[in-house]
Every structure is written in C-alpha cells, then in structure tokens.
Amino acid sequence: MSSKYLITGINGFVGRYFVEYLDEKESDAKIYGIDIAKNCDMDIQYKSLNLMDAESINKVIKSYKPDYIIHLAAMSSVAQSWEEPLNCFVNNMSAFLNLADSVRKNNLKTRILSVGSSEEYGTYNEPLKESLGLHPKNPYSVARVSQEYMSKLYVDKFGLDIVMTRSFNHIGPRQNPKFVIPSFVEQLVNIASGKSENKMMVGNIDVIRDFTDVRDVVDAYYRIIKNAPNRSVYNVCSGRGVKLRDIIDKTAKKLNIKPNIVVDPSRVRSNEVLSVIGDNSKLKKELGWKPKYKLEQTISDMVDFLKTR
C-alpha cells in the first residue's frame, strides 16, 4: 500500500525538493501539502492553512490520516526572532504542538519529522556532534531547542513517533536570494551578464559554514523518516567547512569573471560565529546517507538556474 505524506510549508525551498524526491523515489506516494500561501502549483492535494489554526489542522489530519508528517514550515529567521521573540516562540511551538496533539488525539501511528537547527548548539571550537550540550544564542534557536525537548516528551509521555534533525545551512537552485549564498550567486551572475556593474556587496566572507545541497538534505530527511529509531536526533550536514570567500571564488571562476568585492558594513553582523562545522557520522553510519552533490555541482546548478530564470 502506498504511503501518505503530509508536508507542511510545502511551497518552501525544501518542500518542493522533497516532493520531487518522492516523485522519483516512491512514485506511488500520496502527498498532501499545506502552506500559508493561497495556491500551490504542484500536482498534489493541497490546502492553504495557517498552522496556528489547530482546528483546521486537526480536520486535515483526522481525515487524511498521514503515515508521515514532514514538518518543514517554520518562522526560521534569526534576525526576525530578535525583532519578535514572542511571535517566534508562539508560531514555531504552536505549529508543532498543533500537529503533534492532533496525531495524539486521533490515536494515529503517524511518524513526525521535527526539523531543528545547528543554531541549537551555540558556539563550540570543535565539529558539532549530536552528543554536545545545547547553548542557544538567539530566540529562534531557543524555540528550536524547546521544540526538540517537547518532541522527546511527547514520545516518552504519549508514545508518539517523532524523529528529529539539527539541520545546518542548505543551498541549491531556487533558494531565495535573501539568503547569503544565492545572494552572492545572483550578484555574480548579474555582473557576468553585464546587468550590474562589477561591484559585489558582501558582509564578513571569512566565516566558515557547513553547506549541504538541498537535494542531499531531502535524501537525509527521507532516510530519517523511513529508518531512524523513534526519538532519535540527527545532524544533517556535509561535515565540511567552507569559507564564504571560497564559494565566491568558485562561482566567479565558473562565470569567468573577476568580481570587485566591496564590504558593506550593514551586512557585517556583530558577534558572528566564525566557524560552524557539523559532524555527520551518525547519519552516515546509521542510515547510509552520503552527500551526492559536490559543492562545484551545486554552485553550477545555482548559476544555471539564475541564468535561465
């Protein structure tokens, strides 16, 4: 019998890739997408829904009875979480609890994927392993830590089936240029095409981050939802640190340009963590995951996407 997936935030960056992954991997999968947006252009069952609305969520879950809930929707901007800490809490926590409570009240066997963040760790001078303590440094990550705690409590107390991630930066074609890497690639593509003058605005590009191609991320999520033990938590990361400067260099090389790089002080964040690198050995060892996309491939695909857009 085919599996039924309920995907929240389906119109987002990861949601679309998850749908494409399922189309390929499990073509008989049934997909029900929900999102705050009015419409969805994918060929799936869709409902526009606010995840704060417990009653509407419950109606969907009660009638659809998903085997899996892939909970991708979130208020995930660190900057916004400083502007509206309470909203960040209430939105993230109520979206998650509304889903979990509905599964619980309807006595379903649904497995839930609760997505967390590398931000939960806070600052360490070593690769981030799942066993390290959590020291959240902004309201967004406090909300994520709370969501992880609550996930574990719902497993222990109510016997729910919940698997969790701490996801690091992901990149790929179609990502919104409000994020740093697509913003760089877009600027460079515009310089190469002559659409913009040769002046590239950046913040601190010597910081090191751990980037995973979004197509590898959805592969990890699929393996976790299918095979991870209940209540487990996995880093989703490449295990490799990359300087933002190196991504600019690789992109420029591919485009065959020499960009004029200008530091825009408004883009330099105070107290920015210099290096964030994850340890992905648990995900590799336990679930056989391995990233398929090299950084050069991801950048090349992002460039191609932006060129033809």
Is 245 near a copy of itself (CB under 8 A)? no
What is the C-alpha separation between 56 and 134, in angstroms, rounded? 34
Residue 144 CB, nearest approach to a copy of itself (Å): 11
Is 275 near a copy of itself (CB under 8 A)? no
Contact with a copy of itself (CB under 8 A) among 12, 139, 259, 291? 139
Measured from the CB atom, the residue of 153 and 263 that comes closer to a copy of itself is 153
What is the C-alpha separation between 19 and 42, in angstroms, rounded? 9
Say which residues have a Cβ less than 8 Å from residue 126's Cβ, sequence separation at least 6. Answer: none
Is 145 near a copy of itself (CB under 8 A)? yes
* The one segment of 133-141, 177-185, 224-232, 250-258 that binds a copy of itself by CB under 8 A: 133-141
Is 48 near a copy of itself (CB under 8 A)? no
Q: Is 201 helix (H, G, I), strand (E, B) or coil?
A: strand
Any long-range contacts for 146-149 (C-beta under 8 Å, 24+ apart)? 146/89, 146/93, 147/92, 147/93, 147/96, 147/114, 147/116, 148/114, 148/116, 148/120, 148/233
Is 285 near a copy of itself (CB under 8 A)? no
Is 257 near a copy of itself (CB under 8 A)? no
Q: What value, to the nearest 5°, has the Cα angle with vertex 293 and ends 22 and 236? A: 70
Is 55 near a copy of itself (CB under 8 A)? no
259's tokens? 């960009």
Say which residues have a Cβ less than 8 Å from residue 41's Cβ, sequence separation at least 6. Answer: none
CA distances from 297 to 85, 156, 175 (A): 37, 42, 15
Measured from the CB atom, the residue of 89 and 184 that comes closer to a copy of itself is 89
* The one segment of 41-49, 105-113, 147-155, 241-249 that binds a copy of itself by CB under 8 A: 147-155
Total residues contacting a copy of itself (rule CB under 8 A)? 23
Contact with a copy of itself (CB under 8 A) among 27, 41, 125, 133? 133
Contact with a copy of itself (CB under 8 A) among 149, 193, 269, 274? 149
Count Cβ atoms within 10 A of the Cβ of residue 45 and give its class: 0-12 exposed, 13-18 middle, 19 or more buried: middle
Contact with a copy of itself (CB under 8 A) among 153, 201, 262, 268? 153
Is 232 near a copy of itself (CB under 8 A)? no
Give the β-pairing of 161-167 and 170-171: unpaired
Q: Token match 């979990």: residue? A: 100
Binding pattern to a copy of itself, positions 75-104, x when CB under 8 A?
Answer: -------x--xx--xx--xx--xx------
Residue 107 CB, nearest approach to a copy of itself (Å): 17
Q: What value, to the nearest 5°, has the Cα angle with vertex 148 and ends 26 and 145? A: 130
What is the C-alpha separation between 285 and 280, in angstroms, rounded? 9
Residue 112 CB, nearest approach to a copy of itself (Å): 15
Q: What are the residues binding a copy of itself (CB under 8 A)?
A: 82, 85-86, 89-90, 93-94, 97-98, 133, 136-139, 142-143, 145-146, 149-150, 153, 156-157
